[in-house]
C-alpha cells in the first residue's frame, strides 16, 4: 500500500493533480471546504493538515487507481515497494517499472487490513451517500413546473417567463450538487421541460426564433441526460415548429419524423405527425403527406387537417399546380360552419393573392376557389359575431 509518512500542503496538491480533480471536487471527496484545500496548497511543504485529515488523505491515496498512484509517485519523487511478504499474498508480475510499497507500521494482520478497508468504504458512503434534494422537494418542484405549463396558456408573458427562468436556474443549481441518480434524471427532465417552455415563449410571445432554437438545444441535452424519450419527442416537435416558422421546411419534416420515432404516447405521436404533414405540405409533397400516415380528414383532426391542406394548396399554387391546390382545399370548403375556424381563414389570405396573379387570370377553377374562400371568411366572421 502506498503511504505518506506525513502529508504536507505540497503532497496534497500533487495528489489532487494526480487524481485530476478540481479543488472543489477534491475538497468534496475529503469532506472539507475548497478554501481549506487552497490554504493547504498555498502552505506548501511547511503546512501539515490535522491528524484526522491526514488519515482521510491516506484513504484517498489508497483508493486511487494504479495509474493515479504512479502519477503521484512520479511527481513527488517517492519510491515504494509492494508489501507482498507483509500481507502474505502472491502478487502478479508488474506490467510497468517495479515500485516498492511499504505497509504502515500498524498494519500487521489480514484482519486489520479487512477492517481498514471496511472503514474506508463506510467513509466513502458517508461522503457520497447523501443527496442535496429531498423527495418532497422534488415533488413540489415538479408541481411548480406543471402549474407553470398551464399558466403559459393564459398568463401575462413577462411574469411567466420570469417564473420559468427562476425555476430553470434552481434546477441547474441543484444539479451542481450531488443527488441519487434517479433524482438527477428527474432534475434534468424538469430542466428540459423548463427550457422547452422558454423556447415556446421566445417564439410565440416575442418572435425570437434564434432564442427559441438555443433553448431547444439545451432542452435536448437535458432530455438525453435524463434518458427521457417523451421529452426527446416534445423537444423535437418544438424544433420542428421553429424550423417551420423560419421556412426550413425540409428540416421541419425531418425533426417531426424524429419526434414520432421517440414518442411513446398517442398525443406525442399525433403532434409529430401534424408537424410533419404541415412541413411536407409547405414543400408541396402531397404524396409525402399521405405517406406520413396522418389522417387529414379524420373527425377529430379537422383543425390540423385544414391548416395542412391550406399549406399544401399554397405550395401547389407556387409550383403552378392549380388543380392540385383545388384538390387540397376541396375538403376544407366542405367543412360545416362551426368547424370553419379563424386560423384556417387567415391562412387563405396568401392563397387568394396567388389566385389573383396573372398566371391564373381567367381560369374558371381559380375564380371558383376565390368565391369559396370569400364564403369561408364570411362564415367565420358571422360565427365569431354570433359568439360575441
Answer whether residue 308 is part of any domain. yes
Answer whether residue 30 is part of any domain. yes
Question: Using H for helix, E for strand and C for coil, what is the string for 287-354?
Answer: HHHHHCCCCCCCHHHHHHHHHHHHHHHHHHHHCCCHHHHHHHHHHHHCCCHHHCCHHHHHHCHHHHHH
Query: DSSP labels for 2-13?
Result: ---SS--HHHHH
* Distances 119 to 4, 61, 88 between C-alpha atoms, Å: 19, 14, 22
Which single residue is written with the C-alpha cell 416558422?
A: 245
Question: Which of 78, 111, 128 is the last residue in one of the domains?
Answer: 128
Number of domains within the chain: 2
Answer whether residue 237 is part of any domain. no
Kindly report which listed range (218-232, 291-305, 327-341, 355-369) carries the lowest average pLDDT score. 291-305
Residue 89: pLDDT band with limits 50, 70, 90: very low
Q: Is the pLDDT of residue 45 over 90?
A: no
- Which residue segment(s) compose the domain that 97 sits in? 9-128
At 291 the pLDDT is: 58
Residue 216: pLDDT band with limits 50, 70, 90: very high
At 76 the pLDDT is: 79
Return the DSSP state at 361.
Answer: T
User: 356-372, pLDDT tens digit by residue?
Assistant: 888 888 899 999 999 99
Residues whose CB falls within 8 Å of the CB of residue 278, separated by 6 or more in sequence, listed in order: 244, 252, 304, 307, 308, 311
**Longest pairwise C-alpha distance within the chain:** 106
Average pLDDT, the chain: 81
Answer whether residue 24 is part of any domain. yes
- 149-154: long-range contacts, CB 8 A cutoff, minimum separation 24: 149/193, 149/197, 152/197, 152/200, 152/201
Answer whether residue 40 is part of any domain. yes
At 91 the pLDDT is: 41
At 80 the pLDDT is: 47
| % of the chain surpassing 90 pLDDT | 26
User: 145-168, pLDDT tens digit by residue?
Assistant: 999 888 887 778 899 899 999 999
CA 193 to CA 191: how far, in whole Å? 5
Specify whether the CB–CB gap between 213 and 164 falls below 8 A.
no
Answer whether residue 224 is part of any domain. no
CA 338 to CA 192: how far, in whole Å? 38
CA 69 to CA 368: how far, in whole Å? 84
Question: Which of 112, 128, 144 is the last residue in one of the domains?
Answer: 128
Distance of CA 326 to the CA centre of its chain: 42
At 86 the pLDDT is: 37
3 state DSSP class of 187: helix
Answer whether residue 185 is part of any domain. no
Question: Which of 97, 128, 159 is the last residue in one of the domains?
Answer: 128
Residues whose CB falls within 8 Å of the CB of residue 53, separated by 6 or more in sequence, listed in order: 7, 30, 32
CB atoms within 10 A of CB 22: 11
- As to burial, measured by CB atoms within 10 angstroms (0-12 exposed, 13-18 middle, 19+ buried), residue 211 is middle
Give the residue with greater pLDDT, 321 vs 120: 321
| % of the chain surpassing 70 pLDDT | 82
Answer whether residue 137 is part of any domain. no
Q: What phi, psi does 10 have (nearest 5°)? A: -65, -45
CB atoms within 10 A of CB 79: 11
Amino acid at each position: 500500500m502506498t503511504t505518506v509518512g506525513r502529508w504536507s500542503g505540497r503532497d496534497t496538491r500533487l495528489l489532487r493533480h494526480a487524481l485530476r480533480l478540481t479543488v472543489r471536487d477534491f475538497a468534496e471527496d475529503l469532506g472539507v471546504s475548497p478554501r481549506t484545500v487552497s490554504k493547504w496548497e498555498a502552505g506548501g511543504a511547511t503546512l501539515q493538515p490535522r491528524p484526522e485529515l491526514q488519515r482521510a488523505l491516506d484513504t484517498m491515496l489508497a483508493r486511487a487507481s494504479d495509474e493515479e498512484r504512479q502519477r503521484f509517485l512520479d511527481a513527488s519523487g517517492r519510491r515504494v515497494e509492494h508489501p507482498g511478504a507483509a500481507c502474505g499474498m502472491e502478487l502478479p508480475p508488474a506490467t510497468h517499472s517495479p515500485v516498492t510499497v511499504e505497509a504502515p507500521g500498524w498494519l500487521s494482520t489480514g484482519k486489520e487490513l479487512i477492517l481498514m478497508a471496511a472503514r474506508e468504504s463506510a467513509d466513502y458512503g458517508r461522503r457520497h451517500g447523501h443527496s442535496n434534494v429531498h423527495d418532497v422537494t422534488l415533488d413540489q418542484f415538479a408541481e411548480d413546473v406543471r402549474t407553470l405549463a398551464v399558466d403559459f396558456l393564459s398568463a401575462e408573458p413577462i411574469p411567466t417567463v420570469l417564473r420559468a427562468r427562476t425555476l430553470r436556474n434552481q434546477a441547474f443549481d441543484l444539479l451542481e450538487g450531488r443527488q441519487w441518480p434517479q433524482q438527477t434524471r428527474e432534475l434534468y427532465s424538469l430542466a428540459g421541460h423548463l427550457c422547452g417552455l422558454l423556447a415556446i415563449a421566445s417564439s410565440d410571445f416575442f418572435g425570437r426564433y434564434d432564442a427559441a432554437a438555443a433553448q431547444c438545444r439545451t432542452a435536448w441535452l437535458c432530455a438525453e441526460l435524463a434518458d427521457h424519450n417523451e421529452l426527446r419527442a416534445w423537444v423535437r416537435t418544438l424544433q420542428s415548429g421553429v424550423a417551420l416558422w423560419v421556412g426550413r421546411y425540409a428540416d421541419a419534416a425531418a425533426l417531426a419524423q424524429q419526434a414520432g420515432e421517440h414518442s411513446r404516447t398517442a398525443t406525442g405521436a399525433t403532434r409529430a405527425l401534424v408537424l410533419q404533414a404541415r412541413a411536407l405540405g409547405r414543400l408541396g409533397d402531397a404524396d409525402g403527406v399521405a405517406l406520413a400516415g396522418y389522417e387529414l380528414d379524420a373527425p377529430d383532426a379537422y383543425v390540423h387537417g385544414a391548416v395542412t391542406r391550406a399549406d399544401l394548396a399554397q405550395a401547389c399554387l407556387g409550383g403552378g399546380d392549380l388543380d392540385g391546390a383545388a384538390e387540397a382545399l376541396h375538403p376544407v370548403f366542405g367543412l360545416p360552419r362551426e368547424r370553419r375556424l379563424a386560423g384556417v381563414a387567415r391562412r387563405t389570405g396568401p392563397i387568394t393573392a396567388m389566385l389573383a396573379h396573372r398566371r391564373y387570370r381567367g381560369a374558371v377553377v381559380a375564380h371558383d376557389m376565390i368565391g369559396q374562400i370569400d364564403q369561408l371568411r364570411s362564415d367565420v366572421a358571422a360565427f365569431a359575431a354570433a359568439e360575441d
